[in-house]
């Protein structure tokens, strides 16, 4: 079974019908497990362990690829360097799927196992921004930003497992459960030349230094390029092609520097029976059945994707699919692995929710041969205190070339209202006319898909988080 990134985009995507996953779901893996005789229990435990470790292994592969350069270039930079996106991508961009045209990323990978790192954020002058910090298990453990800490200048020491010490005055400690930390900063930008310049200045004032160098001149060292790292194959494909022993061997090594939280103790006690013990090398001798071992990766990943169909926290409303259970997962290992597979780096829902849609309100796939309208009733615009936007993607989740170079639409287009106070967004290939062009989101000639972004969604009614606001259906115009 071949699954592409577009199949995995966040949303109520109907996939896997008729696949081995659907069969396994109906049979609850019973038929498959009976084939393994004495290995039945180990096979089940190995699946759980695979799912449990999927985020940590994926984070490591992502880190290796994104930092395997001598200096910052494009969307890559060595460990301890900021990666600064300077402009929004256009329709020729193919580096990552589902790009956005709302925030400029300022990101970095750091290792806080040896010493803390200090992140300094300048005065953002009331501009919306957020700098979520992910640990190795993909939990968003802190989110400095306008919603949480305001926009004045601020500094944070990110400390690793077991660290204790004294911090400089004015520097607040943020504790990471793991040595691996991914800082995924986002700064809102309107995309005008003047606003680009203002955001670039803010990016250049963001500083990241080891604690021992704080307050001193510091130049981050060049990176070392490892020619053995596959820089072309997608991360998910590289992870999924690892065999069981290679996967668990890597997971065991990663858990030494990225210890699991105490709440995981019951699960870890089970994993010991297949040779996976935190702080120790993986013992493949505990895998009793070679036949089940070779099938663990595929069956486990099928279970992860099955969350599209069976997880009650993944909603499908009016043709829009989304979840509000991201960023903090506790012991919900399946949801954690699922979000890793479809949207690594997802924010907490208080910071962002991303409804996605591949079908109109009648359940028909979008096609540029048709014309559509998305109507927000009076007082029912997407409730977000940061910003909201609607982005157009082709069938592969890339931007769509169009005559006005508009890849998303939002309030910054000065949307026109209808006489009754409602707002219509016109989604179609050709211009709806000069009087409606401010509300036009250009579509391609063929298949396409849509994504809403609600940053800092309201938590009081109406709210997408508590369900009191729902994205309306997109309707085809006859």
Tokens 């060595």 sit at which residue?
A: 78
Are residues 145 and 201 located together in one domain of the fold?
yes
Predicted local confidence at residue 12, as pLDDT: 28
Return the percentage of the chain with pLDDT > 70, whole number. 92
Are residues 133 and 91 located together in one domain of the fold?
yes
DSSP class of residue 358? S
CB pairs under 8 A, 24+ apart, for 360-366?
360/319, 360/473, 360/474, 360/475, 360/476, 361/318, 361/319, 361/473, 361/474, 361/475, 361/476, 362/475, 362/476, 363/319, 364/476, 365/447, 366/427, 366/443, 366/447, 366/448, 366/449, 366/450, 366/474
| Cβ pair 336, 452 in contact under 8 A | no
145 occurs within a structural domain: yes
Q: Does the pLDDT of residue 283 top 50, yes or no?
A: yes
Are residues 301 and 262 located together in one domain of the fold?
yes
Predicted local confidence at residue 37, as pLDDT: 56
329 occurs within a structural domain: no
Are residues 208 and 295 located together in one domain of the fold?
no
pTM for this model (two decimals): 0.89
CATH code of the domain containing 114: 2.60.40.1610
363 occurs within a structural domain: no
Mean pLDDT score, 294-300: 94
CA distance 458 to 324: 13
CA distance 301 to 214: 43
For residues 393 and 288, which has the higher predicted lDDT (pLDDT)? 393
Predicted local confidence at residue 38, as pLDDT: 60
Residue ranges making up the domain that contains 265: 17-61+233-305
415 occurs within a structural domain: no
Q: Does the pLDDT of residue 48 top 80, yes or no?
A: yes
Mean pLDDT score, 295-307: 95
Instruction: Return mean pLDDT, the chain.
Output: 91
Predicted local confidence at residue 103, as pLDDT: 96
Are residues 195 and 280 located together in one domain of the fold?
no
476 occurs within a structural domain: no
Q: Does the pLDDT of residue 3 top 50, yes or no?
A: no
Are residues 137 and 185 located together in one domain of the fold?
yes
Q: Does the pLDDT of residue 251 top 60, yes or no?
A: yes
Q: Does the pLDDT of residue 447 top 80, yes or no?
A: yes
pLDDT tens digits, 4-40: 333 333 332 222 222 334 344 444 455 554 555 566 8
Mean pLDDT score, 96-112: 93
Residues linked to residue 144 through DSSP beta bridges, in sequence order: none
Are residues 88 and 200 located together in one domain of the fold?
yes
Lowest-confidence pick of 9-13, 321-325, 419-423, 448-452: 9-13
Q: Does the pLDDT of residue 393 top 80, yes or no?
A: yes
266 occurs within a structural domain: yes
Predicted local confidence at residue 32, as pLDDT: 52
How many domains does the chain fold into? 2
pLDDT tens digits, 190-228: 999 999 999 999 999 999 999 999 999 999 999 999 999
Are residues 253 and 286 located together in one domain of the fold?
yes
Predicted local confidence at residue 34, as pLDDT: 55
Predicted local confidence at residue 7, as pLDDT: 33
CATH code of the domain containing 53: 1.10.3360.10
Please identify, among 305, 336, 364, the residue that sits at the C-terminal boundary of a domain.
Answer: 305
Phi/psi for 302 (5° steps) reads -60, -40
Mean pLDDT score, 237-256: 97
Are residues 45 and 156 located together in one domain of the fold?
no
Whole-Å CA distances, 37 to 24, 34, 47: 18, 6, 16
Please identify, among 213, 246, 277, the residue that sits at the C-terminal boundary of a domain.
Answer: 213
Predicted local confidence at residue 308, as pLDDT: 83
Q: Does the pLDDT of residue 83 top 90, yes or no?
A: yes
Helix (H) or strand (E) holding 310: helix 307-310
324 occurs within a structural domain: no
Are residues 96 and 209 located together in one domain of the fold?
yes
340 occurs within a structural domain: no
Please identify, among 270, 305, 340, the residue that sits at the C-terminal boundary of a domain.
Answer: 305
Are residues 146 and 190 located together in one domain of the fold?
yes
Are residues 238 and 195 located together in one domain of the fold?
no
CB pairs under 8 A, 24+ apart, for 146-155?
146/386, 146/456, 147/350, 147/351, 147/385, 147/386, 147/456, 151/123, 151/124, 151/125, 151/126, 151/127, 152/123, 153/120, 153/121, 153/122, 153/123, 154/120, 154/121, 155/118, 155/119, 155/120, 155/121
């Amino acid at each position: 079974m071949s699954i592409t990134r577009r199949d995995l985009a966040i949303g109520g995507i109907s996939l896997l019908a008729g696949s081995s996953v659907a069969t396994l779901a109906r049979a609850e893996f019973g038929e498959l497990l009976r084939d393994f005789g004495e290995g039945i229990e180990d096979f089940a435990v190995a699946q759980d362990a695979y799912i449990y470790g999927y985020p940590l292994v994926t984070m490591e592969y992502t880190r290796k690829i994104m930092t395997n350069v001598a200096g910052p270039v494009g969307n890559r930079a060595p460990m301890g360097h900021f990666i600064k996106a300077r402009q929004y991508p256009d329709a020729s961009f193919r580096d990552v799927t589902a790009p956005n045209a709302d925030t400029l990323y300022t990101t970095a990978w750091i290792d806080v196992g040896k010493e803390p790192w200090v992140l300094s954020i300048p005065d953002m002058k009331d501009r919306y921004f957020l700098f979520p910090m992910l640990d190795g298990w993909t939990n968003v453990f802190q989110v400095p930003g306008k919603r949480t800490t305001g926009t004045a200048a601020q500094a944070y020491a990110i400390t690793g497992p077991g660290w204790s010490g004294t911090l400089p005055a004015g520097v607040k400690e943020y504790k990471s459960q793991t040595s691996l930390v991914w800082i995924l900063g986002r700064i809102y930008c309107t995309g005008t030349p003047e606003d680009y310049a203002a955001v670039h200045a803010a990016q250049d004032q963001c500083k990241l230094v080891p604690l021992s160098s704080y307050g001193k001149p510091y130049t981050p060292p060049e990176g070392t390029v490892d020619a053995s790292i596959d820089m072309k194959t997608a991360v998910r494909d590289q992870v999924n092609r690892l065999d069981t022993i290679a996967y668990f061997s890597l997971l065991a090594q990663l858990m030494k520097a990225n210890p699991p939280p105490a709440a995981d103790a019951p699960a870890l006690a089970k994993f010991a029976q297949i040779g996976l013990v935190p702080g120790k090398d993986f013992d493949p001798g505990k895998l009793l059945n070679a036949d089940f071992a070779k099938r663990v990766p595929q069956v486990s990943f099928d279970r992860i994707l099955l969350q599209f169909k069976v997880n009650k926290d993944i909603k499908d409303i009016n043709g829009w699919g989304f979840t509000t259970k991201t960023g903090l997962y506790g012991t919900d290992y399946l949801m954690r692995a699922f979000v890793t597979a479809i949207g690594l780096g997802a924010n907490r829902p208080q910071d962002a929710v991303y409804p996605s849609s591949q079908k109109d309100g009648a359940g028909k796939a979008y096609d540029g041969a048709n014309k559509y309208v998305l109507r927000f009733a009076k007082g029912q615009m997407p409730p977000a205190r940061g910003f909201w936007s609607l982005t157009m993607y082709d069938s592969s989740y890339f931007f769509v070339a169009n005559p006005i170079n508009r890849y998303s639409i939002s309030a910054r287009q000065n949307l026109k209202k209808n006489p009754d106070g409602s707002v219509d967004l016109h989604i179609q290939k050709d211009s709806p006319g000069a009087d409606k062009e401010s509300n036009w989101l250009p579509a391609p000639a063929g298949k396409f898909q849509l994504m809403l972004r609600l940053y800092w969604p309201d938590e009081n009614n109406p709210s997408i988080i508590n369900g009191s606001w729902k994205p309306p259906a997109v309707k085809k115009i006859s």
